[in-house]
Chains A and B, each alone.
Chain A
């Protein structure tokens, strides 16, 4: 489980939030909301350990994530605004390398399955720079399927996706939560996800 204690986040001269506390258990989804500039992305980056909190700590299974980086990162997938997709590489190569760099044994079939499930079958061998923004986003999302991780941290995952892909992603998130995974996501539009335990945090409040 992920636990946040008394978290404070400062960007430049501006304090985004302080005294943030919550605990996320297995099988729970956390939906972060807040206006532009309220610190959603900063919070997600802090939860991943990319940003150092100004105060407070983030604990994974009771230990500070900064002390157990490798163990924590092994169970985490973070999808930021940028998809981390290389235009020169094909969808399959992107996915395969992302896995191998994490040190995961990449089984070609599961990668192809993930790509197919994201609706990109037949396009796996094109350099991703020829794909549309939405398709690139799908390649990035395919990582969720290809590399099993306990905790998904998704920054505006529904951006640039068409209705079909949005539905697909909702289903994936719901499935992941039902299988005792954990998801933290931000959106600026209302999203109904059909799963049991959803917690909401509004950073404007």
Chain B
């Protein structure tokens, strides 16, 4: 019996999820378009005054990112659950948390990264200056992976449940609050000409913590959900 290689397993898990996402491009685009539409709705609701828009821009973009990444959670495990692949993933001869981490990374690459890439567009629409937009992107790069990681716990707990989509928002959104506060806070600080080091280091700390802890919780949640 050959010793199974964890590295091969991780690499192929990542590759598999990316290939699947590429073959279902429409799903990936939906999240991004949702993000763009939600942000574009705000000027219509609040009014076109650029000063007000500039002031609310960090919060609006971050809340939209929160909602978009939460919506995309449905796909994280449900396809694999429905065709039985999730059972097989649980039966892999590897630590489940590490496998899960790879799945979350793949998920972030297709649902979180596009938000980061398109955020400057929205920043400009809402009148943010170049420096603020730069800060916005950095906070999104640090923050959206945290959303995916925390979200994976909720997605794992609700996999296979009817009405799981609404439920997952109830479970996950309260946990997103610190990321929202410091993500949007950093951009506001930057716009006000204040330092953002504290925000950035806290976001970085959230990322490190959730990378260490969330996969274990998600792995445990998957075992519970498939029990």
| A100 in contact with B12 given A76-B91, A84-B83, A84-B87 (CB within 8 Å) | yes
Stretch from B16-24, B52-60, B118-126, B180-188 contacting the other chain: B16-24
In the assembled complex, B46 has its CB within 8 A of some CB on chain A: no
* CB neighbours of B89 from chain A (8 A): 101
A86 vs chain B, min Cβ distance (A): 6
Which residues in window 116-169 of B have CB below 8 A to A? Answer: none
* CB neighbours of A150 from chain B (8 A): 1
Alpha-carbon gap, A52 to B23, bound state (A) = 36
* CB neighbours of B8 from chain A (8 A): 100, 103-105
The interface centre, meaning the residue of A50, A52, A72, A76 with most chain B CB atoms within 10 A of its CB, is A50
Task: Assess the A85–B83 pair: CB atoms within 8 A.
Answer: yes
Alpha-carbon gap, A80 to B85, bound state (A) = 10
In the assembled complex, A21 has its CB within 8 A of some CB on chain B: no
* Candidates B23, B94, B226; contact of A103 at CB < 8 Å: B94
In the assembled complex, B64 has its CB within 8 A of some CB on chain A: no
* CB neighbours of B226 from chain A (8 A): 50-51
A13 vs chain B, min Cβ distance (A): 15
Alpha-carbon gap, A119 to B84, bound state (A) = 23
Task: Assess the B19–A50 pair: CB atoms within 8 A.
Answer: no
B156 vs chain A, min Cβ distance (A): 14
Task: Assess the B83–A101 pair: CB atoms within 8 A.
Answer: no
Main secondary structure of the interface of B (DSSP, over half): helix
In the assembled complex, A88 has its CB within 8 A of some CB on chain B: yes
* CB neighbours of A52 from chain B (8 A): 227
Which residues in window 31-57 of B have CB below 8 A to A? Answer: none
Task: Assess the A101–B9 pair: CB atoms within 8 A.
Answer: yes
* CB neighbours of B16 from chain A (8 A): 89, 97, 101
Task: Assess the A86–B83 pair: CB atoms within 8 A.
Answer: yes
* Candidates B9, B91, B99; contact of A48 at CB < 8 Å: B91
In the assembled complex, B93 has its CB within 8 A of some CB on chain A: yes
In the assembled complex, B195 has its CB within 8 A of some CB on chain A: no
The interface centre, meaning the residue of A72, A78, A103 with most chain B CB atoms within 10 A of its CB, is A103
| A71 in contact with B93 given A86-B83, A100-B9, A102-B9 (CB within 8 Å) | yes
Alpha-carbon gap, A69 to B89, bound state (A) = 13
Alpha-carbon gap, A60 to B85, bound state (A) = 24
Alpha-carbon gap, A103 to B2, bound state (A) = 9
* Candidates B9, B13, B84, B95; contact of A84 at CB < 8 Å: B84
A51 vs chain B, min Cβ distance (A): 5
**Nearest A residue to B99, CB-CB:** A101
Task: Assess the B93–A50 pair: CB atoms within 8 A.
Answer: no
Task: Assess the A73–B12 pair: CB atoms within 8 A.
Answer: no
* Candidates A51, A89, A148; contact of B19 at CB < 8 Å: A89
In the assembled complex, A70 has its CB within 8 A of some CB on chain B: yes
The interface centre, meaning the residue of A72, A88, A100 with most chain B CB atoms within 10 A of its CB, is A100
Task: Assess the B20–A101 pair: CB atoms within 8 A.
Answer: no
* Candidates A49, A84, A100; contact of B85 at CB < 8 Å: A84
Task: Assess the A103–B87 pair: CB atoms within 8 A.
Answer: no
Task: Assess the A51–B227 pair: CB atoms within 8 A.
Answer: yes
Besides the contacts A100-B12, A148-B1, what 20 more A-B pairs have beta carbons closer than 8 Å? A50-B87, A70-B93, A70-B94, A70-B95, A72-B93, A74-B93, A78-B88, A84-B87, A88-B23, A88-B24, A97-B12, A101-B89, A101-B99, A102-B92, A103-B5, A103-B8, A103-B92, A103-B93, A104-B2, A105-B5
- 6 A–B pairs (Cβ distance < 8 Å), ordered by A: A82-B82, A84-B83, A101-B16, A101-B92, A103-B93, A104-B4
Residue numbers of A with Cβ under 8 A of B are 48-52, 69-76, 78, 80-89, 93, 97-98, 100-105, 148, 150
Residue numbers of B with Cβ under 8 A of A are 1-2, 4-6, 8-9, 11-13, 15-16, 19-20, 23-24, 82-85, 87-95, 99, 226-227
